[in-house]
């Protein structure tokens, strides 16, 4: 079980990205899809319960019903919405950062079934001289929406974005940042399709997955 204890004086806030249209899922409220007995949003919230504060960016209908089931420890939870609605992940990060008052921010996409394990792995890697650390899949592709970042570096990057990041790619936001990658296998796999959801449910139901074996 992931240890969610909050370190004393933790200077970290969290931003959970819970918006998006879920077009490949027929427009369902993706954060409320259930994997392993909990919603995807619950998994995301539990993954950052050690943070000082948690900003959930997304429609109120997506977040209000789930938080009571999540172990948030003593973290303060704040709701936010990107402008305009469905303006993309960079606009959502901008909305979240506007409410962050910590030196470091942990960003988690709310469609990550193994968020608890993914964030636990991130916490093992100090930032040192980097602007951030994020996970990479087995092919080495960076998964920027599961990462820890220096708040000042992210704010500076946002300041260089046109239109406050509206409809911008996350790649363009982090292009100038010094990032460390941590290979994480399928820990950062997200749910974009019904097949993804079925794979996630099957994986969580299995006592041991190939990635679990690699991480031990």
Residue ranges of domains in the chain: 12-215
One pLDDT digit (tens) per residue for the chain, 216 residues: 333 444 444 579 999 999 877 777 777 888 889 998 889 999 999 999 999 899 999 987 666 656 655 566 667 789 999 988 888 899 999 999 999 999 999 999 999 999 999 999 999 998 999 999 999 988 899 999 999 999 999 999 999 988 877 888 999 999 999 999 999 988 988 888 898 889 989 986 665 544 444 443
Q: What is the pTM of this model?
A: 0.84
The distance of Cα 136 from the centroid of its chain, to the nearest Å, equals: 14
The distance of Cα 104 from the centroid of its chain, to the nearest Å, equals: 14
The fraction of the chain above a pLDDT of 90, given in percent, is: 52
Other Cβ atoms closer than 10 A to 176: 11
Give residue-wise pLDDT tens across range 107-117. 999 999 999 99
Distances 48 to 70, 86, 120, 213 between C-alpha atoms, Å: 11, 23, 9, 24
**Residue 148 CA neighbour count, 13 Å, CB half:** 25
Q: Which homologous superfamily is 12-215 in?
A: Spore Coat Polysaccharide Biosynthesis Protein SpsA; Chain A (3.90.550.10)
């Amino acid at each position: 079980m992931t240890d969610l204890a909050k370190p004393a004086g933790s200077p970290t806030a969290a931003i959970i990205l819970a918006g998006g249209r879920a077009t490949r899922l027929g427009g369902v409220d993706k954060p409320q899809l259930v994997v392993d007995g909990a919603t995807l949003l619950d998994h995301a919230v539990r993954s950052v319960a050690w943070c000082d504060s948690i900003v959930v960016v997304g429609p109120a209908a997506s977040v209000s019903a789930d938080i009571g089931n999540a172990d948030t420890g003593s973290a303060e939870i704040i709701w936010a919405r990107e402008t305009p609605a469905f303006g993309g992940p960079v606009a959502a990060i901008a909305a979240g950062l506007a409410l962050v008052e910590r030196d470091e921010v942990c960003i988690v996409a709310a469609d990550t079934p193994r968020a608890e394990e993914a964030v636990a792995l991130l916490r093992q890697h100090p930032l040192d001289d980097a602007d951030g650390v994020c996970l990479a899949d087995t092919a080495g592709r960076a998964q920027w929406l599961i990462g820890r970042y220096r708040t000042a570096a992210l704010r500076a990057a946002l300041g260089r974005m046109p239109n406050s990041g509206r409809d911008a790619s996350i790649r363009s936001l982090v292009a100038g940042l010094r990032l460390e990658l941590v290979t994480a296998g399928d820990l950062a796999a997200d749910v974009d399709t019904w097949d993804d959801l079925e794979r996630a449910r099957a994986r969580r139901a299995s006592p041991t997955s190939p990635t679990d074996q690699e991480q031990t």
